[in-house]
Structure 1
Amino acid sequence: MKIIDLVILSIYTFLLTFLGLGVVLLAFNLLPLEWVWTSITYLVGQWEVGLIGLLFMLISLRLFLASLRFRKNHETIITHTDQGDIHITVTAIENFVEKTARYTRGVRAVKVNVQKKGNVLKVIVKAVVSPESHVPTVGSEMQKRIAEMMKNTVGVELSDIEILVENISNEFKAKQRVE
């Protein structure tokens, strides 16, 4: 989940906890029912209440879709051996391809996306290349290294390796670490 989704989820959880507390107070007669009915009758016909309800509905939908995206990263490639199956996550393959591509001469930074359709893998590498390098040569070298390392280390042949050079720059973008 992205950080914005986590912030929204925290606020959403707090509000639902507050609502749950109100229901518990009603259940044990600690909150007079007349206050609740008075509040509800006041809310009828207020467009602001409808707007808040719509906002809650949109937040729920966003969190639901974020949870589906989160599950996507747990897709695996299955390799069968005599002793049993080996499951390799798509995230592990993305990390491996990123490290392989990053160590190609002339590459400054990379972002990798692996798409799995059935048993076929497609790798999309977005790269920043040094201006001193010959871009087609760097791209070809990256494709060759990725295909070779995937076959030798992971045991999987890729259907397609797409290289997208997003920038030609000397700037180095260091990957930020979360501690």
Structure 2
Amino acid sequence: MIKVLDKLLLFLYSIAVGVAAIVAIVAASGGISASWMKDVVDSFTGDSQAVQLSVIVVAVVLLLFSFRFFVLSVRRDGGSAPSINQRTDHGDIRISVETVENLALKAASRTRGVKDLRARVRVSEKGLGILIRAFVDGDGSIPTLSEEMQRTVSKEVEDATGIPVAEVSVFIANVTQTPKTFKSRVE
């Protein structure tokens, strides 16, 4: 929820800064008359309290946005890669998500007929959700190959990490073309 709010604030802040930049460019290039600009500035500093109050409110909101984005830019997120934490009798175990992805790729690569593998891991209450993206050579049955890959990845990741695998999804991105080799005849 906080990330969505931050994205919304950043969007609004970008629009406000963009509009201010356009106005500054047009004013500096002579697109706005000096007398009109003087009248606008006078209305901000003049007797109209409603205009003054609205300018102050907008300026304070933009200042708060700036402060929020400054804090986000200098804040540290712990400095570590995303990991899966387990507690054992002997202490804590932290396994990086990248490690689990590499284990899944290693297991999936053992399946005959797959190429150009990619893996993505997400952690849920039920266990790990692993998505394997692959190209196949098209020589065999894609459902059979996918089921074999699912079994292999699930078993090997669970055995290596001790973390239950809730699901292994396989996405076959394409079928690769195998180059045909021709034998040359020598007469």
SS in structure 1 opposite 2:24? Answer: coil
Gaps of 5+ in 2: 1-22, 29-68, 180-187
The question of whether the paired residues in 2 share the 8 Å contact of 1:101 and 1:145 is answered with yes
Q: 1:127 is matched with which residue?
A: 134
C-alpha RMSD of matched pairs (Å) = 3.5
Change (3 A) 1:87 1:132: same
> After TM superposition, which residue ranges in structure 1, 4 or more long, deviate above 6 angstroms?
70-73
**1:88 is the counterpart of 2:100:** no
Change (3 A) 1:171 1:99: farther
* 1:75 alignment partner, one of 82, 85, 97: 82
* In structure 2, C-alpha distance between the alignment counterparts of 1:155 and 1:102, rounded to whole Å: 21
Gaps of 5+ in 1: 1-43, 50-60, 173-179
**1:166 is the counterpart of 2:145:** no
Cα deviation, 1:132-178, whole Å, max 9, x if unaligned, reads: 12111110000000111012111111111110000111459xxxxxx
**1:111 is the counterpart of 2:118:** yes
Q: 1:18 is matched with which residue?
A: none
Task: Report the CA distance between 1:118 and its aligned residue.
Answer: 4.6
SS in structure 1 opposite 2:163? Answer: coil
| Percentage of matched positions with identical amino acids | 25
**1:143 is the counterpart of 2:122:** no
The question of whether the paired residues in 2 share the 8 Å contact of 1:73 and 1:89 is answered with no
The question of whether the paired residues in 1 share the 8 Å contact of 2:126 and 2:166 is answered with no
Q: 1:31 is matched with which residue?
A: none
The question of whether the paired residues in 1 share the 8 Å contact of 2:127 and 2:163 is answered with no
Kindly provide the amino acid, as one letter, of the partner of residue 45 in structure 1: A
Give TM-score, length-normalised by structure 1: 0.54
